[in-house]
Amino acid sequence: MAISAISQSHISVEGGYCQSIFYCSQAKSNYYYSFSQYNAYYVSINYKEDAFQLSKNMRLGGQIIWKRQSPWIYREDAINDSTTLATGARYDISSINISFFPELVVGEKARFYFSFGPNFQFVCNTKAKGQQVLVKNGVNDNPTPVENKHSEDIKGFTFGGKVNLGLEIPIKNNFYIFLNNSYSAGFTSFNGQLKKRMKFFNCIDIYLGGGIAYKINHKTK
């Protein structure tokens, strides 16, 4: 039997705040990490499609995200038994992220949604800015500036997972706004010099943002 129904496509743009909790397998006595509020944000283009007979409560979707992370990282690299190279720098990491997910939606006018799926991240560029100090027998030399617009410390491709939680609020015709809270974690490590020094090196991303969407109605059989 052919069943007539209305399915919908959802196209949206989104932006907001993005922060990352970095972690590694090196002892914390050899490094220190903190948030940096400088340039921590993201923008994305999203596409979602109702999933056939389950269209009222189930969608399939994908995102393309440009993201800026800005951690401040301090590390100590032992040169020999009496000498240590101490480095403190802010890393501005620009990356492209692609994710795919099934999405569950509940509610009538205001609707809540939950989705999860794989996430792929490719680091486009990393800028480093900070200082280095050579510490020999407990005595500090004069600090040396560190400034690299194309740092090799953090680079490469990572694979992980992402979870999205959000609220959709209709505004007019087929337009609606939405608020979104997302979390992603890498299952594989970043590449670069920091991976060698800090062993396994990755992060958990926290997104807080919102955007505007437009839904397109399709009549199907």
- Quickly state the pLDDT bin for 121 (edges 50, 70, 90): very high
Q: Region 155-179: what's the mean pLDDT? A: 93
Q: What is the model's pLDDT at position 123? A: 95
Q: What is the model's pLDDT at position 23? A: 78
Q: What is the model's pLDDT at position 192? A: 87
Q: What is the model's pLDDT at position 162? A: 96
Q: What is the model's pLDDT at position 29? A: 61
By the 8 A CB rule, do 220 and 35 touch?
no
Report all structural domains of the chain as residue ranges with CATH numbers, in order of start.
5-220 (2.40.160.20)
- Quickly state the pLDDT bin for 75 (edges 50, 70, 90): confident
- Is a pLDDT exceeding 90 seen at residue 45? yes
- Is a pLDDT exceeding 50 seen at residue 1? no
Q: What is the model's pLDDT at position 202? A: 82
Q: What is the model's pLDDT at position 141? A: 78
- Is a pLDDT exceeding 60 seen at residue 221? no
Query: Two tokens at 9?
Result: 């496509």
Q: What is the pTM of this model?
A: 0.83
* Between 77 and 188, residue with greater pLDDT: 188
Q: Region 94-109: what's the mean pLDDT? A: 93
Q: What is the model's pLDDT at position 189? A: 87
Of 170, 179, 23, nearest to 107 by C-alpha is 170
- Quickly state the pLDDT bin for 71 (edges 50, 70, 90): confident
- Is a pLDDT exceeding 70 seen at residue 3? no
Max Cα distance, the chain (Å): 84
Q: Quick one: what percent of the chain has pLDDT higher than 90?
A: 47
